[in-house]
């Protein structure tokens, strides 16, 4: 079966510290991968998506970056966190078992203090 893993589940970081969130996908190969941020009452904001290793598209200018070092690994990073980076970060995958839809990981809750 197909599974998306994200870690950590919760993270509390001081302003100005670096960030690394990891997402891995099991059960498929060459999926499209996505990073979303979800804020209360504001839905899902697409941050980055990737169609393959080393290929990253950014949807909004921001303090964050993404990388895809392996086919089923997607990393969200920041060199210096801002208070506004707090939120719920979701990794998603498209292409699992050929279904034309997205599946989501469990999410990482980030609090920047």
Partner 1 sequence: QKEVEQDPGPLSVPEGAIVSLNCTYSNSAFQYFMWYRQYSRKGPELLMYTYSSGNKEDGRFTAQVDKSSKYISLFIRDSQPSDSATYLCAMSLTGNQFYFGTGTSLTVIP
| Residue 14 binds partner 1 (CB under 8 A) | no
Our CB check for partner 1 shows the closer of 67 and 102 to be 102
Backbone angles phi, psi at 47, to 5 degrees: -100, -55
Tokens representing 60?
């909004």
The CB-of-97 to partner 1 minimum distance in angstroms stands at 12
| Residue 49 binds partner 1 (CB under 8 A) | yes
Give the up-direction half-sphere exposure of residue 96: CA atoms within 13 A in the CB hemisphere: 18
Helix (H, G, I), strand (E, B) or coil at 9: coil
* Chain residues that interact with partner 1, rule: CB under 8 A: 4, 6, 32, 34, 41-44, 46, 49, 51, 88, 90, 94, 99-107, 109
């Amino acid at each position: 079966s197909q599974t998306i893993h994200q870690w950590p589940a919760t993270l509390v970081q001081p302003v100005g510290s670096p960030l690394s969130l990891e997402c891995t996908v099991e059960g498929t190969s060459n999926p499209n991968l996505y990073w979303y941020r979800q804020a209360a009452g504001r839905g899902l904001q697409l941050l980055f998506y990737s169609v393959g290793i080393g290929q990253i598209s950014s949807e909004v200018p921001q303090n964050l970056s993404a990388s895809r070092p392996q086919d089923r690994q997607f990393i969200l990073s920041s060199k210096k966190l801002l208070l506004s980076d707090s939120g719920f970060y979701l990794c998603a995958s498209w292409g699992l078992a050929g279904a034309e839809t997205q599946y989501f990981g469990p999410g990482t809750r980030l609090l920047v203090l």
